C-alpha cells in the first residue's frame, strides 16, 4: 500500500506536486556577490532536489533591496539580473521537485547595524529585553510606502516566474512585515490598515491580489501564516482561521502554518506542554483545529523529523508535511523514508536559558550545516552552538561590508513605486 506521504497533490491552480513532503524555507543567508544566488546556493538546492521531496521552498528572497533580514540575504527586485535566479530554479528542479521562491519583507526585524530602512505598521520596536538594541527602531509606514511595498512583492513574483520557478510563497509569519500588520500588538494604526482583523489583513490580501494579477493562472501562490504568535494578546488561532477564509477567494493554492516571531521564537522549538508533543510537530494540535474549517489545503512545518510523525500530520488532515532542520542534517531524508530508513542524527540541542540567544545559536547551527552541504561535505550536527554562533557573527560582519558597498552603488528611492514588469498570462 502506497504511503500517503508519497501520493501526489494537485493544486488549485493546476500543478501537481509529486509527493506530500516539502523542504520548508530556512533563511540560508548565503547570497553571493550583488545579493544574488551563487554556486553555494545552487549546489545546496541540487542536493535537496535529489533528496526526494516533492517541493522545495527557498529561504527568504527579499523584495526590497534596502530592507533585508541579514546582510547576506538574496534580493530579487526590478533591477536584479535574472540569470542567477534561472540557474537557481534549474538546480532545484533538476531532480524532479517543484521549486517555489519564498518572498518577504522584514519590516521592523532588521538588525540595527544594517543600512537602509526599518519600517513597520507602527513605530513599535522589537522587544527582546536586553537584546532589543540589536534591532533598528522602526518608523510607521506611510500609505505610499505600503502601496510601493505591495507592488514590490508583485515585481518579485513576476520575475520569479520568468526565471523558471514554479510558484512563490508569500511570507506572512514569524514576525516579518506582513505578520506585523496582522498582529494587534505591533499594528496600532487607526487607518484602513489597522484596528479590525480585516483591516490588519488588508496588506497581505492586497499582496496576494497583486501577485496573482501578474503571474500566470498555473503559477502556484502560497502563503506562510502563523497558527499563533504565542504572545499574550497577539495573533491567535481564531485570527488564523479568519485570515485563511479571507485568502480562499484570492487564488491561493496552499497555506503553510508555522508560529512565533523573533520575540517568541516558537518556530525554533517549544517545550512540551498541553499543546505540543516534545518538539515533534509542535504546531500539529493547532493545525488539526484549523484544518477542520480551512477551505484551503494546509502545510505544517515545525519539528517533523521522523516518518511516523509526518504520517500523523497527514492523518490529521494536513495536505503537506514541511521539514527544515531535518533536511539540513539529512538532505536525502525523503528518499530514506521511501526505502524504510530514518535520519538517525539530530542537531545538538541548545539549552541556554536566554531564549533570544538560544534561538540565534540554533539558527547559526542550521546554517552551518547548510554551508557544509553546499561544499559537498557531510553535515556535522554535533557542532557546538557557541562555536556556530561566533562563526556566524564573523561571516555576518564580512557580509555587512559587502552589502553596504553594493547598496551604495544602487540608485534608490525608498518611496518610489516600482514598475510591475510581469504580465498575467490569461
3-state secondary structure 300-352: EECCCCCHHHHHHHHHCCCCEEEECHHHHHCCCHHHHHHCCCCCCCCCCCCCC
What confidence score (pLDDT) does residue 204 get? Answer: 98
Counting residues of the chain whose pLDDT is more than 90, the rounded percentage is: 77
For residue 2, pLDDT over 70 is answered with no
Length of the chain: 426
| Grid cell locating 260 | 512565533
Given 3-state DSSP classes, what are the helix, strand and coil percentages for the chain, each rounded to the nearest 5?
Answer: 40, 10, 50
CATH architecture of 17-346: Alpha-Beta Barrel (3.20)
- Residue 302's pLDDT band (boundaries 50, 70, 90)? confident
Query: What confidence score (pLDDT) does residue 197 get?
Result: 96
The set of residues, in sequence order, having a beta carbon less than 8 Å from that of 304 and lying 6+ positions away, is 280, 281, 310, 313, 321, 322, 323, 326
Grid coordinates of 175: 514576525
55: Cα separation from own chain's centroid: 14
Helices in 9-101 by DSSP H: which ranges? 39-49, 83-93
Q: What would the pLDDT profile of 332-374 be if each residue is shown by its tens digit? A: 999 999 999 998 788 899 999 988 888 889 999 999 999 999 9
Is the per-residue pLDDT at 12 higher than 60?
Answer: yes
The mean pLDDT of 384-404, rounded to a whole number, is: 96
What is the model's pLDDT at position 420?
57
Domain positions in the chain are 17-346
Residues 186-211: pLDDT tens digits?
Answer: 999 999 999 999 999 999 999 999 99
Measured on CA atoms in the order 369, 24, 158, 182, is the torsion positive or negative? Answer: negative
pLDDT at 233: 66
What is the share, in percent, of the chain residues with pLDDT greater than 70? 89
| Model pLDDT, residue 3 | 78
Between residues 280 and 172, the one the model is more confident about: 172
Contact 177, 106 (CB under 8 A): yes
Classify burial at 138, counting beta carbons within 10 Å of its beta carbon; exposed 0-12, middle 13-18, buried 19 or more. buried
Of residues 133 and 102, the one with the higher pLDDT is 102
Convert the pLDDT of each residue in 21-64 to its tens digit. 999 999 999 999 999 999 999 999 999 999 999 999 999 999 99
Q: Quick one: which H or E segment has residue 224?
A: strand 220-226
pLDDT at 281 over 70: no
pLDDT for 271: 37
Q: What is the pLDDT of residue 232?
A: 66
SS3 220: strand
More confident residue, 304 or 222: 222
pLDDT at 426 over 80: no
pLDDT tens column, 220-251: 999 999 876 556 667 888 999 999 999 999 99
Q: Can you tell me the distance from the alpha carbon of 222 to that of 251, in angstroms, rounded to the nearest whole number?
A: 9
CA angle, 371 then 24 then 38, to 5°: 40
Exposure string over 58-80, b if 16+ CB within 10 A, otherwise e: bbbbbbbbbbbbbbbbbbbbeeb
pLDDT at residue 254 is higher than 80: yes
CB 138 within 8 A of CB 125: yes
In this prediction, residue 261 has a pLDDT band, given cuts at 50, 70 and 90, of low
Give the residue, 388 or 411, on which the prediction is more confident. 388
Amino acid 66: pLDDT: 97
Looking at every residue in the chain, the average pLDDT score rounds to 90
Can you tell me the mean pLDDT for 72-87?
A: 98
- The pLDDT value recorded for residue 129 is 81
Model pLDDT, residue 255? 97
In this prediction the pTM is 0.93
Angle between helices 202-214 and 237-247 (to 10 degrees): 30
In this structure, what C-alpha cell is assigned to residue 90? 534549474
Amino acid at each position: 500500500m502506497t504511503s500517503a506521504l508519497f501520493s501526489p497533490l494537485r493544486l488549485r491552480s493546476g500543478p501537481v506536486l509529486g509527493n506530500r513532503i516539502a523542504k520548508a524555507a530556512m533563511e540560508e543567508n548565503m547570497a553571493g556577490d550583488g545579493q544574488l544566488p551563487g554556486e553555494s546556493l545552487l549546489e545546496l538546492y541540487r542536493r535537496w532536489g535529489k533528496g526526494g521531496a516533492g517541493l522545495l521552498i527557498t529561504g527568504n528572497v527579499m523584495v526590497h533591496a534596502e530592507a533585508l533580514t541579514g546582510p547576506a540575504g538574496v534580493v530579487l527586485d526590478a533591477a536584479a539580473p535574472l540569470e542567477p535566479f534561472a540557474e537557481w530554479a534549474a538546480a532545484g528542479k533538476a531532480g524532479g521537485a517543484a521549486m517555489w521562491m519564498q518572498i518577504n519583507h522584514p519590516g521592523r526585524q532588521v538588525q540595527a547595524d544594517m543600512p537602509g530602512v526599518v519600517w513597520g505598521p507602527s513605530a513599535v520596536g522589537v522587544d527582546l529585553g536586553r537584546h532589543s538594541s540589536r534591532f533598528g527602531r522602526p518608523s510607521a509606514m506611510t500609505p505610499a510606502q505600503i502601496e510601493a511595498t505591495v507592488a514590490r512583492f508583485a515585481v518579485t513574483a513576476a520575475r520569479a516566474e520568468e526565471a523558471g520557478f514554479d510558484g512563490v510563497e508569500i511570507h506572512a509569519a514569524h514576525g516579518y512585515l506582513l505578520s506585523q500588520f496582522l498582529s494587534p500588538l505591533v499594528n496600532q494604526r487607526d487607518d484602513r490598515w489597522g484596528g479590525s482583523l480585516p483591516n490588519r489583513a488588508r496588506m497581505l490580501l492586497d499582496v496576494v491580489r497583486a501577485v496573482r494579477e501578474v503571474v500566470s493562472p498555473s503559477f502556484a501562490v502560497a502563503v506562510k501564516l502563523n497558527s499563533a504568535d504565542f504572545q499574550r494578546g497577539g495573533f491567535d488561532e481564531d485570527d488564523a482561521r479568519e485570515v485563511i477564509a479571507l485568502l480562499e477567494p484570492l487564488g491561493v493554492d496552499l497555506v503553510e502554518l508555522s508560529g512565533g516571531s523573533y520575540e517568541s521564537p516558537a518556530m525554533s522549538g517549544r517545550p512540551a506542554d498541553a499543546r505540543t508533543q516534545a518538539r515533534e510537530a509542535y504546531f500539529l494540535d493547532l493545525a488539526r483545529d484549523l484544518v477542520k474549517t480551512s477551505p484551503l489545503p494546509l502545510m505544517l512545518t515545525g519539528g517533523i523529523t521522523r516518518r511516523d510523525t509526518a504520517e500523523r500530520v497527514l492523518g490529521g488532515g494536513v495536505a503537506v508535511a514541511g521539514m527544515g532542520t531535518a533536511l539540513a542534517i539529512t538532505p536525502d531524508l525523503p528518499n530514506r523514508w521511501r526505502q524504510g530508513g530514518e535520519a538517525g542524527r539530530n542537531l545538538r540541542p541548545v539549552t541556554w536559558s536566554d531564549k533570544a540567544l538560544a534561538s540565534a545559536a540554533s539558527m547559526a547551527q542550521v546554517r552551518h550545516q547548510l554551508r557544509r552541504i553546499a561544499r559537498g561535505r557531510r553535515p556535522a550536527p554535533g557542532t557546538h552552538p557557541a562555536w556556530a554562533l561566533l562563526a556566524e557573527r564573523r561571516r555576518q560582519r564580512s557580509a555587512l561590508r559587502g552589502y553596504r558597498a553594493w547598496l551604495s552603488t544602487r540608485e534608490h528611492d525608498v518611496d518610489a513605486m516600482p514598475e510591475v514588469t510581469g504580465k498575467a498570462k490569461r
